[in-house]
């Protein structure tokens, strides 16, 4: 019943910042998923005795890809698959399930915050036994394998039913369908003080959580409404849909429009939050107030002592280089370890595994801690609710209080989308070459003190990664340039701007970064090289 099928390589199966991400129509080509999965299995080697998690965010083509992977796993000698009921598992819950059950790894089928549907994107994230996504050295080996693949193995069988919790077999492989919520919910109960949060909701506190028709809906309903007692209907867009109901499941000011309208209304609830397609990103809102993710990381870190799981101390904190420096000031104040890594959660994994850090985050709406090895949207929401319950302050008051204490890093990211890949590559290469000549240059009040590529030397595995270019100014401002590694076509140039201010705390970010934006456009010759006068997306 095991069939060996001849195939030939696709040349585009290189994983990016977080797994393989392509247009759905690309992934639907004959043998596309099969080639990629067989390349992973070949790279792992012996699969006998190994157990993997399988699930996804419910997007279009999840159902078909899951069946292919089940049948290929059985044919390749995997001992056991643990699968989320109906094929659902969020990225953070997947990491938890891998760690708790000491699995050998797992596959979460998601293109994260990218839209779904036949004209949207599909993706596969591959985690190893750390519960985190594989390091680049391993994904490079898998990529090499995809370039020489000539056959794959698949079990010929009817589709496996995924709707009932319990055990079944396919050939020699055991399949266990689990409730994908249980382990995750239990973990949250152990990190946070749920009785304090119940009291908060009992006192009349109101919130709206936008699950964006993606995988966190069921998690959020169970935790916020069923357990903590938030009013029914506090979770909106709660049902996972294959095309996310046409929404772009990216929790930011551009795409979480419904939530934003609710939070900007005069009768807004006390608190608003949204998660992305696979539940690892979060956006935090107060009444008519937006918390920038870099500030959120700094604020959560500052309040770690109030959380039961962290009250005895944390090892340290880390951020991606592109994230604002706000959290560095908190690390200094608390005298804890501080690290900067390349963009992508996988770079935090070694730091967590070696007890160098506990909390970490990225500007791209990601925060998390060493409870798992992925960023965690609901964790961030529970952390914010805990701060509110403890202090009695509103979201805005908490942020203002933070800026008074530490100053404020005005921060925005400017994305230039849909660029010609060659033009984007040469923009970055030429800019890198001219960096040394920029040091000492003045642009109005801005004087460049340092200009260099960001190079990260991992203290644990000693790998070295170059990611992005950083320009520092005398007044504490920064420009970071890098190319996105999660797009499904063309190139995206990301320009991250930061302007630190100790005294003017309530200004508009766009205005505070106006001059720096002009400098950033000029230095990298963005308009001349890409034809773009303005960024396509600003977050």
Compare residues 112 and 234 and give the one whose CB is closer to ligand VG1: 112
362 contributes a contact to ligand VG1 by CB under 6 A: yes
Scan residues 170-199 and list those touching Co ion (CB under 5 A): none
473 contributes a contact to ligand VG1 by CB under 6 A: no
| Inter-residue contact 364 to 82 (CB < 8 Å) | no
In three-state secondary structure terms, 288 is: coil
Compare residues 121 and 280 and give the one whose CB is closer to Co ion: 280
**Could you write out the three-class secondary structure of 294-343?**
HHHHHHHHHCHHHCHHHCCCCCEEEEECCCCCHHHHHHHHHCCEEEEECC
Which residues form the catalytic set?
A: 112
Residues in CB range of 269: below 8 A, 6 or more apart: 206, 207, 208, 234, 262, 263, 287
281 contributes a contact to ligand VG1 by CB under 6 A: yes
- How many residues of this chain interact with Co ion, rule: CB under 5 A? 5
Compare residues 121 and 225 and give the one whose CB is closer to ligand VG1: 121
Q: Which of 22, 50, 59, 113 binds ligand VG1 (CB under 6 A)?
A: 113
Token pair for residue 423? 């033009």
Q: Which of 13, 15, 17, 500 binds ligand VG1 (CB under 6 A)?
A: 17
95 contributes a contact to ligand VG1 by CB under 6 A: no
| Inter-residue contact 494 to 483 (CB < 8 Å) | yes
Residue with tokens 């033009």: 423
Give the whole-angstrom CA distance, residue 474 versus residue 442. 10
Shortest spacing between CB 404 and ligand VG1, in angstroms:
28
Q: Which stretch binds Co ion (CB under 5 A): 68-76, 117-125, 280-288, 333-341?
A: 280-288
| Inter-residue contact 10 to 29 (CB < 8 Å) | yes
Closest C-alpha to 415, from 325, 490, 501, 320? 490
| Inter-residue contact 84 to 90 (CB < 8 Å) | no
Q: Which of 278, 295, 376, 458 binds Co ion (CB under 5 A)?
A: 278
276 contributes a contact to Co ion by CB under 5 A: yes
Closest C-alpha to 193, from 107, 330, 308, 54? 308
Q: Which does 213 bind (CB under 5 to 8 A by kind): ligand VG1, Co ion, none?
A: none
> Could you tell me how far CA 332 lies from the centroid of its own chain?
26
Exposure of 109 in the CB half-sphere (CA atoms within 13 A): 29
Give the whole-angstrom CA distance, residue 377 versus residue 366. 7
Q: Which of 145, 280, 295, 362 binds Co ion (CB under 5 A)?
A: 280
User: Closest residue (Cβ) to Co ion?
Assistant: 112
Scan residues 223-262 and list those touching ligand VG1 (CB under 6 A): none
Scan residues 303-322 and list those touching ligand VG1 (CB under 6 A): 320
Compare residues 34 and 57 and give the one whose CB is closer to ligand VG1: 57
Q: Which does 486 bind (CB under 5 to 8 A by kind): Co ion, ligand VG1, none?
A: ligand VG1
In three-state secondary structure terms, 177 is: strand
Compare residues 50 and 482 and give the one whose CB is closer to ligand VG1: 482
Residues in CB range of 509: below 8 A, 6 or more apart: 292, 410, 411, 412
Shortest spacing between CB 281 and Co ion, in angstroms:
5
Closest C-alpha to 475, from 434, 523, 443? 443
Q: Which of 280, 295, 458, 498 binds ligand VG1 (CB under 6 A)?
A: 280
Give the whole-angstrom CA distance, residue 204 versus residue 202. 5
Question: Ramachandran region of residue 350, left (φ > 0), alpha (ψ -120 to 50) or beta?
Answer: alpha
- How many residues of this chain interact with ligand VG1, rule: CB under 6 A? 18
Q: Which of 43, 51, 95, 112 binds ligand VG1 (CB under 6 A)?
A: 112
Q: Which stretch binds ligand VG1 (CB under 6 A): 273-281, 288-296, 351-359, 378-386?
A: 273-281
DSSP one-letter string for 184-218: HHHHHHHHS-HHHHHHHHHTT--EEEE-TTSTHHH
Scan residues 105-164 and list those touching Co ion (CB under 5 A): 112
Binding mask 477-516 for ligand VG1 (x = CB under 6 A): -------xxx-------x----------------------
φ, ψ of residue 426 in degrees (nearest 5): -75, -30
Shortest spacing between CB 486 and ligand VG1, in angstroms:
3
250 contributes a contact to Co ion by CB under 5 A: no
364 contributes a contact to ligand VG1 by CB under 6 A: yes
Q: Which does 38 bind (CB under 5 to 8 A by kind): ligand VG1, Co ion, none?
A: none
Q: Which stretch binds ligand VG1 (CB under 6 A): 48-56, 166-174, 333-341, 358-366?
A: 358-366
Binding site for Co ion (CB under 5 A): 112, 276, 278, 280-281
Which residues of the shown chain bind ligand VG1 in the complex (CB under 6 A)? Answer: 17-18, 112-113, 276, 280-281, 320, 343-345, 362, 364, 366, 484-486, 494
């Amino acid at each position: 019943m095991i069939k060996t099928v001849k195939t030939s390589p696709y040349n585009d199966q290189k994983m990016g910042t977080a797994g393989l991400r392509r247009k759905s129509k690309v992934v639907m080509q004959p043998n596309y998923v099969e080639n990629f999965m067989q390349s992973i299995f070949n790279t792992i080697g012996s699969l006998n005795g190994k157990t993997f998690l399988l699930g996804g965010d419910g997007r279009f083509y999840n159902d078909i890809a899951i069946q292919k992977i089940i049948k290929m796993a059985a044919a390749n000698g995997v001992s056991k698959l643990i699968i989320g009921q109906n094929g659902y598992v969020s990225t953070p819950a997947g990491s938890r399930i891998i760690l708790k059950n000491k699995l050998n790894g797992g596959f979460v089928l998601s293109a994260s915050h990218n839209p779904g549907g036949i004209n949207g994107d599909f993706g596969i994230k591959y985690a190893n036994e750390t519960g985190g996504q594989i390091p680049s050295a391993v994904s490079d080996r898998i990529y090499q394998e995809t370039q020489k693949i000539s056959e794959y193995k698949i079990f010929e069988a009817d589709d496996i039913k995924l709707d009932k919790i319990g055990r079944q077999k396919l050939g020699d492989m055991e399949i266990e369908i689990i409730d994908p919520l249980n382990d995750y919910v239990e973990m949250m109960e152990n990190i946070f003080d749920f009785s304090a949060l119940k009291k908060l909701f009992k006192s009349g506190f109101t919130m709206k959580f936008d699950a964006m028709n993606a995988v966190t809906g069921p998690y959020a309903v169970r935790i916020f409404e069923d357990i903590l007692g938030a009013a029914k209907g506090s979770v909106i867009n709660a049902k996972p849909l294959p095309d996310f109901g046409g929404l772009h499941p990216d929790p930011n000011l551009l795409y979480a429009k419904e939530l934003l309208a609710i939070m900007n209304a005069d009768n807004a609830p006390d608190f608003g939050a949204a998660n992305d397609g696979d539940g690892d990103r979060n956006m935090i809102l107060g009444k008519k107030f937006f918390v920038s993710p870099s500030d959120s990381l700094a604020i959560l870190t500052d309040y770690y002592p109030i959380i039961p799981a962290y009250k005895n101390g944390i090892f340290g904190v880390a951020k991606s280089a592109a994230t604002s420096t706000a959290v560095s000031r908190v690390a200094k104040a608390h005298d804890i370890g501080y690290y900067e890594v390349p963009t992508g959660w996988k770079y935090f994994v070694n730091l967590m595994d070696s007890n160098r850090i506990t909390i970490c985050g990225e500007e791209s709406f990601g925060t998390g801690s060493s409870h798992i090895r992925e960023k965690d949207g609901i964790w961030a929401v529970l952390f914010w609710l805990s701060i509110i319950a403890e202090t009695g302050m509103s979201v805005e008051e908490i942020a203002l209080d933070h800026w008074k204490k530490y100053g404020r890093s005005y921060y925005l990211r400017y994305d230039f989308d849909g660029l010609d890949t060659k033009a984007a590559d040469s923009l970055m290469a030429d800019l890198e070459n001219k960096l040394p000549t920029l040091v000492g240059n003045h642009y109005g009040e801005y004087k460049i003190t340092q200009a260099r590529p960001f190079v990260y030397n991992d203290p644990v595995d000693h790998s070295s990664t170059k990611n992005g270019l950083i320009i520092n100014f005398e007044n504490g401002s920064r420009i970071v340039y890098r190319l996105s590694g999660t797009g499904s076509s063309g190139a995206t140039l990301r320009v991250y701007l930061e302007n630190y201010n100790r005294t003017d705390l309530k200004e508009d970010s766009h205005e505070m970064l106006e001059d720096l934006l002009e400098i950033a456009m000029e230095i990298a010759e963005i308009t001349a090289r890409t034809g773009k006068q303005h960024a396509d997306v600003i977050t």
